[in-house]
Chains A and B, each alone.
Chain A
Amino acid sequence: MNALAELALVSVVALGAAGATYLIAGPPTRTFQCDPALLKPDELCLESVPDSPDIVWVDARSRADWKKNGMTGSLLWNLDPTEDMQAFEAAAAERIAVSPQVIVYCGDENCGLSRQVADRIRALDLGAEVRVLHGGWRALKDAGRVKDSNPKP
């Protein structure tokens, strides 16, 4: 058997196996999966967050992203040097005084910004319980919780 025939045979077998896997196990899961075992101490999975209006959501992404597809009712607080940090503090303090449950999210699961923003909110010392959303905005999008998104199966 020449090399081309061998290559064709291997390709056919591989494609057949992939097709069978697709038929038996279904399509690959592309939604964000939160594994509670991987959570850092101040993180939580979206699945464990009740759909409650008493939670203050804080978007740590850029102002443009927040306006485009942030969570409805969320506050903006990022570390952009051009933003007014005192305005962020004042807006957050007013909401925290009413609802001390705060969850911060940023662009994706590897984004460290939400933790830095969470630290700043804690530093206000207003008695808020501040957590970071594992998976960030992507988890919210997959769950249909941000503007222009639908829950994925």
Chain B
Amino acid sequence: MKRILCIWLSLLACSYAAGLSFPEVLKEIHAPADAKTVAAEFTFSNKTDKPITVREYNSTCSCMAVKISENKLRYAPGETGTIRAEFDMGNFSGDVDKVIALWLDGDPAEKPSVSLTVRVHIPVLIQLEPKTLKWDLGGQADSQTIRIQMNHSKPIKITATHCSSKAFAQELKTVEEGKSYDLVVTPLDIKTPGLAIIRIETDCDLDKHRIQQAFAVVRKPTAAEAAAKP
């Protein structure tokens, strides 16, 4: 038992000595609905007895800019630093994970020593459930409904809906003005494959949420869908 413990401690010491120490490798941010960017900072320190050089760092997304404190790449024993990530919320919504990778001197190109995750929770102000309505080719042309739920601090009204295809009929029903709506869609031709893109325009005060998009499709079920049906 003692021998196993010694081996384990030696391995632990080696892995610790090889890298920088990060108190947190995951940062969660709850972004306000109107934020354009959010930032997260990861502090680290060199708790080893040797200098450590950061060879490279990057994010897997062009939506996140990563900077290391004062562009300093070499850290003496005991020195600390900060990695700052700025996430451009652009067209993201919902829960988004973005990863920052750090390669230290000696790391293989395909395996960075450190992976840091920024988890951003972006409010979904207008929720469509479901976003896509599907009918089987040659099946029943029953009406289906998309529930549109507003999750903003103020009411959001639907001002117009546009359907890209004449093969589908649509009717908007108000459940609670500014809060909840039902969009009822019916295919007019179930024997021909078809797709409709339905644009839902609202008076939302935030540009990126103002127009939403849903889909209605008549198509042959995939093999997996056909197998799942009783």
The residue of chain B having its C-beta at the shortest distance from the C-beta of A115 within the complex is B60
Residue B132 interfacial (CB < 8 Å): yes
Q: How far is the CA of A98 from the CA of B137 in the complex (A)?
A: 13
Q: Are B219 and A127 in contact (CB under 8 A)?
A: yes
Q: Are B61 and A79 in contact (CB under 8 A)?
A: yes
Q: Are A127 and B60 in contact (CB under 8 A)?
A: no
User: What are the residues of chain B within 8 A of A79 when measuring CB–CB?
Assistant: 61-63, 90, 92
Q: Are B193 and A80 in contact (CB under 8 A)?
A: no
Residue A45 interfacial (CB < 8 Å): no
Name the 8 nearest CB pairs between A and B, nearest first: A81-B90, A112-B60, A97-B195, A85-B91, A125-B132, A81-B88, A127-B222, A86-B213
User: What are the residues of chain B within 8 A of A111 when measuring CB–CB?
Assistant: 60
Residue B33 interfacial (CB < 8 Å): no
Residues A94 and B61 in contact in the complex (CB < 8 Å), given A124-B132, A125-B132, A126-B215: no
The residue of chain B having its C-beta at the shortest distance from the C-beta of A123 within the complex is B131
Residue A54 interfacial (CB < 8 Å): no
The residue of chain A having its C-beta at the shortest distance from the C-beta of B193 within the complex is A97
A121, chain B: closest CB distance, angstroms: 12
Residue B160 interfacial (CB < 8 Å): no
Where the two chains meet, the residues of A that have a C-beta atom closer than 8 Å to any C-beta of B are 62, 78-86, 89-90, 93-94, 97-98, 100, 110-113, 116, 123-127, 129
Residue B134 interfacial (CB < 8 Å): yes
Q: How far is the CA of A55 from the CA of B215 in the complex (A)?
A: 21
Q: How far is the CA of A100 from the CA of B99 in the complex (A)?
A: 30
Q: Are B90 and A93 in contact (CB under 8 A)?
A: no
Q: How far is the CA of A94 from the CA of B195 in the complex (A)?
A: 7
Q: Which of A82, A85, A129 interacts with B222 by CB under 8 Å?
A: A129
Q: How far is the CA of A112 from the CA of B132 in the complex (A)?
A: 26
User: What are the residues of chain B within 8 A of A89 when measuring CB–CB?
Assistant: 213
User: What are the residues of chain B within 8 A of A127 when measuring CB–CB?
Assistant: 134, 217, 219, 221-222, 225
Question: Mind listing 25 A-B residue pairs with CB under 8 Å?
Answer: A78-B62, A79-B90, A79-B92, A81-B62, A81-B89, A81-B91, A84-B91, A85-B91, A90-B197, A90-B213, A93-B197, A93-B217, A97-B217, A97-B219, A98-B193, A111-B60, A112-B61, A123-B131, A124-B131, A124-B132, A124-B215, A125-B131, A126-B215, A127-B219, A127-B222
Q: Are B217 and A126 in contact (CB under 8 A)?
A: yes
User: What are the residues of chain A within 8 A of B225 when measuring CB–CB?
Assistant: 127
A107, chain B: closest CB distance, angstroms: 11
Q: Which of A82, A97, A98, A125 interacts with B90 by CB under 8 Å?
A: A82
Q: Are B90 and A126 in contact (CB under 8 A)?
A: no
A85, chain B: closest CB distance, angstroms: 4
A115, chain B: closest CB distance, angstroms: 9
User: What are the residues of chain A within 8 A of B90 when measuring CB–CB?
Assistant: 79-82
Q: How far is the CA of A17 from the CA of B122 in the complex (A)?
A: 60
8 Å CB contacts to A: which residues of B64-101? 88-92, 99
User: What are the residues of chain A within 8 A of B89 when measuring CB–CB?
Assistant: 81
Q: How far is the CA of A127 from the CA of B88 in the complex (A)?
A: 30
The residue of chain A having its C-beta at the shortest distance from the C-beta of B213 within the complex is A86
User: What are the residues of chain B within 8 A of A81 when measuring CB–CB?
Assistant: 62-63, 88-92
The residue of chain A having its C-beta at the shortest distance from the C-beta of B61 within the complex is A79
Q: How far is the CA of A92 from the CA of B102 in the complex (A)?
A: 34
Q: With contacts A112-B61, A124-B131, A124-B215 known, what are 11 further pairs, Cβ within 8 A?
A: A79-B63, A86-B211, A86-B213, A97-B195, A97-B217, A110-B110, A113-B61, A124-B132, A125-B131, A127-B222, A127-B225
The residue of chain A having its C-beta at the shortest distance from the C-beta of B96 within the complex is A116
Residue B139 interfacial (CB < 8 Å): no
